[in-house]
Structure 1
Amino acid sequence: MVQSVSVDPDRESEPFIELDPTGRYGRYDELLGYGAVKKVYRAFDQEEGIEVAWNQVKLRNFMDDQQVIDRLYSEVRLLKTLKHKNIIALYSVWRDENRNTLNFITEVCTSGNLREYRKKHKHVSMKAVKKWSKQILKGLNYLHTHEPCVIHRDLNCSNVFINGNIGQVKIGDLGFATIVGKSHSAHSVLGTPEFMAPELYDEDYTELIDIYSFGMCVLEMVTLELPYSECDNVVKIYKKVISGVRPKAMDKVKDPEVKKFIEKCLAQPRVRPSASELLQDPFFNDINDDDENDDEEYTSNNFWHA
């Protein structure tokens, strides 16, 4: 999970702290966000004239944990294969041997993550929440129908980013994502406990765990409350999840249509709908896609410098 840091709107022209090997991307000293594994800085693409995000991992912090390093490389390799307007795009990746860092340049979303954006803007219509939800589903549908299928495994509101000026959301932070074969089944226990589907704990699951997490995202967007916030430790959350006890936040959802939609997402795997099926749900009947080409895959003039 990446924490956001506030941005100073009155910044003057400033020097780059670091350049990528090609000289195209320059990193500023301003931190946009940080997590357990990486820091994200504001940066600039001099060729395209656009702001970007410079993700930097100090590999020396993980020299004793090859799994973390492998996962990071896997995130970057995976991101390079994905091109969809509701998935954060990757432009460049390289390892700096001198500084012992892994660096990758991604597109930046102007308003940070959806959790903090929603907290900042408390008065939001159900229509807006539905628009965000539909875009998340489109991103998930792209991942799940990708060849091979991609399971995100850590979908939550802090891993969904937003361009608030146009209401566009994008799924990011694919560090826990996995590629699965034709069986569409995976076996590692990973994720954020409040958003993890019960079958994930059984270590036998499919891409439908992302739908469960998506349901919890909708619940958080509607109630402004983290699921299972009534629990003060992970064990209590685990016990409630595996026994099918819903978060107390569900009691705050007064609209029966919204509650029914969330319950569909949290249903047992055998009856839980796919992203594609949910996109056809009556829940979205009053949401018209603004862009006629909304369902076409996002394409861009990305340049890879691996």
Structure 2
Amino acid sequence: MTTEAPVAPGRIVLLTASHRVAPGLLSWPAWQTLHAADRVLCADEGHPQLPYLREAGIGVEITAPTAQELVDACVGSRTVVVLPSGEGDQALTDGLARLAGSGRVQMPDLELLPGSYDLPGARLLDLVQVMDRIRLECPWSSQQTHKGLAKYGIEEAYELVEAIEDGDRDELREELGDVLLQVVFHARIAEEGREEDGAEPFSVDDVAGTIVEKLIHRHPHVFGGESAETPDDVKEHWLRTKAIEKQRDSVTDGVPLGQPGLALAAKLAGRVRTAGLTVPLPAGEGIGYELLALAARAEASGTDPEAALRAAARAYRDAIRAVERHAG
């Protein structure tokens, strides 16, 4: 009496690829598996990988197998690669899980093979795509301008500072995203070139490219032949290269006058100190001149007067609430 040898169950490979990586840029293990597979299946005839697989001589069957059909296709030690298509993938994986849990089916080996991975910063591409669609389809967003959004940039920056001062990391992550949104939103508007007649459009890639070039140029101790041993050395490099780039007539050029008063006073005092100038504080009566002197003194001692005043104000707020609770 002879016994039949058990039928080898084979292997199912679910090949995934990041939509943020150009189609065709697959890992070497992915290409090896595709070339060695007995069958390659895909339910989506518009799958972005298909042209590149066919160019590589890999035959792809456009079909949406059920879980049982997929298991049957693997009988006899056969390897079947499935390109997930998005729609229907959940039903297929759920079906495979049910078959495995039933205990009535000899299941093939199941492998999830990443064909490509996201690089750091890849989700920024998602943000750009989402912003593009919102700009086109949202009645409010499609009408926004640089000037109309300006106030939100200020608000988001202050909320970011508040999250930092609170030490709330969850809030910090959210507020950083809100600030990033403002950057991408403005860049998307600028790409259209609608606001100013004759203005040269620019995109978020141009924005990123500009800051990359600036960072490289202003860090010769990192990307060039110069050296910097201390933070003061780095600041000196930064100020020197910035002065050459801007060709400014005054150390006050480029200081935004619209910033809060204490921060403005400290910034001006810092510019004077860094330039080695001797400029007496203007004499005058009133609280403004007293605050100017306090701001200059704070800057000279390495204290941010704006942050110091905010900290004191927050302590004052807490004291007010304590009194309110006691009187409540």
TM-score normalized by the length of structure 2? 0.22
TM-score (norm 1): 0.23
When Rg is computed on C-alpha atoms for both structures, the one with the higher figure is: 2
Greater relative CO, 1 or 2 (CA 8 Å, sep 6+): 1
Whose strand fraction is larger, Structure 1's or Structure 2's?
1
* Higher share of residues assigned helix: 2
